[in-house]
Amino acid sequence: MKKKILVIHTGGTISMMEDPTGSVIPGSENPLIAQTSQLESMAELHVVEPFHLPSPHVTPKEMMELKLIIENEYSSNGVEGVVITHGTDTLEETAYFLDLTVKAPIPIVVTGAMRSSNEIGADGLYNLMSSIRVASCEEAIDKGVLVVLNDEIHTAKNVTKTHTSNVSTFQSPQYGPIGIVTKRGVVFHHSPTYKECYDINGISNKVSLIKAYAGLDSSLFHAIKELDYDGVVVEALGQGNLPPASVEGIKALIEKNIPVVLVSRCFNGIAQDIYGYEGGGKDLRDHGVIFSNGLNGQKARLKLLIALSHTKEIDEIRKIFAH
């Protein structure tokens, strides 16, 4: 019996076309809509297109809209799986947002393409087919939101875009994919060990993301404080260290009860409180900085946005980032 799969098209390269000048642009219609109808032998497909945006135009507002669509379709129409087509630039962020917030206990797969629909070697339709197969798979249940491209299955938490144009751009540094899609079937060889979900009704807070560099001072942190941001994520150096000139600004934010979350700008390893010198990880933790357990900067920012929608208590936010 075919599974009832909700397919949500949101735009991105997977739905665009290359014009005669070589520019990749959205057309008046999404060519993927017609292509999706070719796949109805795979599952009972219900297709919606709530918006048609390049992924740099996607914000937490659109992510929240997707969450509500999925939960409504699950409760009202009994969909058994979801596939979302999405531009690749912010795909990992939308996937992780949904991983942290969607309450429907069904497989949710996010996919995209690195080549537009009319380019030679276009990968969009193939990735969509693979994603429908994964979303229809019993083994995909309870594995959180998954990202499927190029025959690989990744978790939303670990996957990231690693190359500007290569079709194998999506990788999970340090962890690797948790499964593969073959001609014979869908094969999982790992499972996530922890699932978290937060009950939120909207996203209204402002969280900034700063990347540390040699000579970073406190001026940006003071500006963030004056602009009434609700939180800040810092991609720190190495294992979680910052230049000493930035510490004053960090302390000023914390004194104003603005949470400061630290991740590493390295794409392998996690930030830790190892070094005790001024600006070192231990010094920063002593000042009240929150350490994140292995997230990259863009995902830590989303998690802090969600955490702030869930609670304003710094100690509770610290517990949320311990996982």
Instruction: Give per-residue pLDDT as tens, 107-143.
Output: 999 999 999 888 888 899 999 999 999 999 999 999 9
pTM of the model: 0.96
What distances in angstroms separate CA 213 from CA 20, 209, 216, 236, 294, one per listed residue?
41, 13, 6, 8, 19
Q: What angle do CA 20, 7, 34 make, to 5 degrees?
A: 40
pLDDT value at position 36?
A: 82
Residues 4 and 44: their CA atoms lie apart, in Å, by: 5
Active site residues: 13
Take residue 156 and report the two structure tokens written for it.
């939303």
Q: Closest Cα partner for 106 from 77, 65, 64?
A: 77
Answer whether residue 27 shows pLDDT above 90. no
Distance from chain centroid for Cα 94: 4
Q: What mean pLDDT value characterizes the chain?
A: 95
Percent of the chain whose predicted confidence (pLDDT) is above 90:
86
- Spatial distance between the Cα atoms of 261 and 231, rounded to a whole number of angstroms: 8
Query: Is residue 37 predicted with pLDDT exceeding 90?
Result: no
